[in-house]
Structure 1
């Protein structure tokens, strides 16, 4: 062969090697909808709602990066494409697990746009990041499409219930009350959130019980709350439907505490105090539940901030058609903002004790770890719980790899020193 012809052939082969292969839909059988699995950086709740409803639509790529998350158990080749369009010819940069590929979109109607083949070296969550520098183009991406050997194993992503999928999985610890304890009058717990783990939309719930919950939230950049709620025995998501004889009655509340009703996830009485709690600080929570006669039970929540140095009343509610002490002491961690479902948060839950009606403290060092339907249906696998010394921990969201088996039992080291509380001095 002539040298010039041979050189031309080498260049042609090299060019074909660098050019992204065009995939067929049959090669990319797994459809990942962007409305449930893609986040665009910097979006507020309204914009994220549009993403939830429509997927990536009318997106200007130079304004923010679009990141799609999914989990594979296999570590072989993966083929990736997208169902996309642009209002004018546009070049996007696609990064997958640290490797980049330029992708041109010239079609103005939704159609398959091939991205490329990549090697997956580790099982777990992967991020497909799409960026661009054209501030005048408008992009729609309704689906990420994947195939190849790496998709022959399990592939996890949100397939339905996208609102909950975007919020991420909620996780719980149900503490095991020692058998020698009699009726539980008080439930004590502490929470410490490390710097950087206080993500917007987090509810670090400390003292859960069969009829309600009590803990601390991150509600905004300049707003945090100590929240205490008790469900009505009447099952409804609309508090206005509750008959008068089944309504939660507010008995008293602390200074600066708001009280009212809540709905949507059951209904009942709610109270909260705006308080800018700090990271790296252990906050104390004390819940009392005591029968009040006539088939009523009173629930009272107290909060102790070390920077204040004394127990403060949040609120006390009376629940009708209830005759009980503290049942099912537990904690949970949830995210209530869809736009932050791609950010990890973690809380340390420490020093769990119950005080019974015979005047004895009992430490709780064993807990059952559970998760919600979003985790159980395998829409999201970024959830974990465990023990770190004398503390339990819970972690969720952010697409980290390594989940904890649901319904597993966890044991922390005992502290052995009961809380010192003079109940007669509580407000």
Structure 2
């Protein structure tokens, strides 16, 4: 059944083609929106080879390329826009602001007026740049977009590259649902279901279902023809380079399912990683199951299973041993992220439902409460195209694509009960139990 998330609403806007001489006058505030963290190649020749999108500003030499710059305003306002650009020779370009075009000639270096814009409601403004004619090898090098706005207006965009934030900003904001686990006996098992609506699964998406204090388990879109079920456990040794992990802190792969790749990962922490190539489909619901159990010798075993709807059986993904860890499952959560910085201008989203936790005595407890949070990029309000909430019996999250709707970080949600759908799992028949 086709299901959609909340719709993306267009931003009402009018473009006046001439810039007032009072752009930087009294009562105005000037903002500099850098290309590095706020621009994408949204149309390019690469699309013909199956590659969509890119980072702005690259080499701008094709008339087929469209580079798009994004920023957000917090209220209706009149803005004045100009480009900081340097042309090799002479060039003519078209700038389109939320669908309204204006053509400009470029020569040498300086600021080029794009006109006055009236934004009718809070939300994102998109400025598209496309080359028309050039005398040199490229149309221009664009440093950024200058926005002059009334003092009361606040702009949101990726402001600087401290901590590599241009990269993280291009990826877009990551968002999370932190689940309220039952109090009492320790939790050994966690169960969750994910449905990705059709059209909400662009390349670079990671729909993480079963997160816990030491790792995560979910499904990814890795390419036009490649999708994965991914399960990873962090090492207790903090590093982004797995080669630096001492032997007594390394994650050990105990067992993996047929066809599953097992290895290491780095870059965002380090540890043990496993993934299985599986062509999961948008519009279908998938089930995830984790077990976290101490081995009684100072380590803890983490195991993940994925339910195959076509075979109606659980498939072992992998089981890892984490040293210097003696605990059951804590920190149950889901998250939604984009791991491709070329795809941060595209919206993705998923529905998360029917969460259950099973304690060490074998009692299942329904999990119906969650807290919505975001990463550094979201917390800084560098990107505000994120949302989360409840749709009946399911939680939802979406991010990317520069949509106007926004949900406050820290919001608490409660979904409707799905007591009739309590998991029926014969633990002893699970491979790797």
- How far did 1:305 drift? 2.3
CA contact (8 A) 1:61 1:134 kept: no
Q: Please name the residue that 1:132 is paired with.
A: 131
Distance 1:355 1:117 in 2: 59
Q: Please name the residue that 1:158 is paired with.
A: 158
- How far did 1:24 drift? 6.5
Q: Please name the residue that 2:171 is paired with.
A: 167
Match status 1:371 vs 2:374: yes
Alignment of 1:43-82 (within 5 A): 56-60=57-61, 62-82=63-83
Distance 1:51 1:343, change over 3 A: closer
Alignment of 1:23-62 (within 5 A): 29-42=30-43, 56-60=57-61, 62=63
Bigger CA drift: 263-272 or 81-90? 81-90
Match status 1:420 vs 2:424: yes
Q: Please name the residue that 1:115 is paired with.
A: 114
Distance 1:20 1:328, change over 3 A: closer
CA contact (8 A) 1:57 1:142 kept: no
Distance 2:330 2:347 in 1: 30
Query: 1:374 is paired with a residue of what secondary structure?
Result: helix
Distance 1:361 1:206, change over 3 A: same
What's the TM-score once normalised by structure 2's chain length? 0.88
- How far did 1:22 drift? 6.2
CA contact (8 A) 2:91 2:139 kept: no
CA contact (8 A) 1:370 1:407 kept: yes
Query: 2:189 is paired with a residue of what secondary structure?
Result: strand
Picking from 282, 285, 289, the partner of 2:285 is 282
CA contact (8 A) 2:54 2:343 kept: no
Query: 1:245 is paired with a residue of what secondary structure?
Result: helix
Distance 1:307 1:192 in 2: 16
Q: Please name the residue that 1:141 is paired with.
A: 142
Distance 1:411 1:18, change over 3 A: closer
Moved segments of 4+, more than 4 Å: 17-28, 42-45
Q: Please name the residue that 2:365 is paired with.
A: 362
What's the TM-score once normalised by structure 1's chain length? 0.89
Bigger CA drift: 152-161 or 272-281? 152-161
Bigger CA drift: 295-304 or 18-27? 18-27
Distance 2:208 2:312 in 1: 21
Please give the per-residue CA displacement for 1:208-246, whole angstroms capped at 9, x wherever unaligned. Answer: 000100000001111111000011111111111111111
Which is helix-richer, 1 or 2?
A: 1
- How far did 1:182 drift? 1.4
- How far did 1:57 drift? 4.7
Query: 2:289 is paired with a residue of what secondary structure?
Result: strand
CA contact (8 A) 2:24 2:148 kept: no
Please give the per-residue CA displacement for 1:352-396, whole angstroms capped at 9, x wherever unaligned. Answer: 000111221101000011000000011100111101111111111
Alignment of 1:21-420 (within 5 A): 21=20, 29-42=30-43, 56-60=57-61, 62-105=63-106, 107-108=107-108, 110-134=109-133, 137-149=138-150, 152-160=152-160, 161-179=165-183, 181-417=184-420, 418-420=422-424
CA contact (8 A) 1:83 1:143 kept: yes
Distance 1:286 1:207 in 2: 7
Query: 1:82 is paired with a residue of what secondary structure?
Result: strand
CA contact (8 A) 1:39 1:66 kept: yes
- How far did 1:147 drift? 0.3
Distance 1:18 1:206 in 2: 48
- How far did 1:87 drift? 2.7
Query: 2:342 is paired with a residue of what secondary structure?
Result: helix
Q: CA RMSD in A?
A: 2.1
CA contact (8 A) 1:57 1:141 kept: no
User: Structure 1: any 5+ residue segments left out of the alignment?
Assistant: 1-16
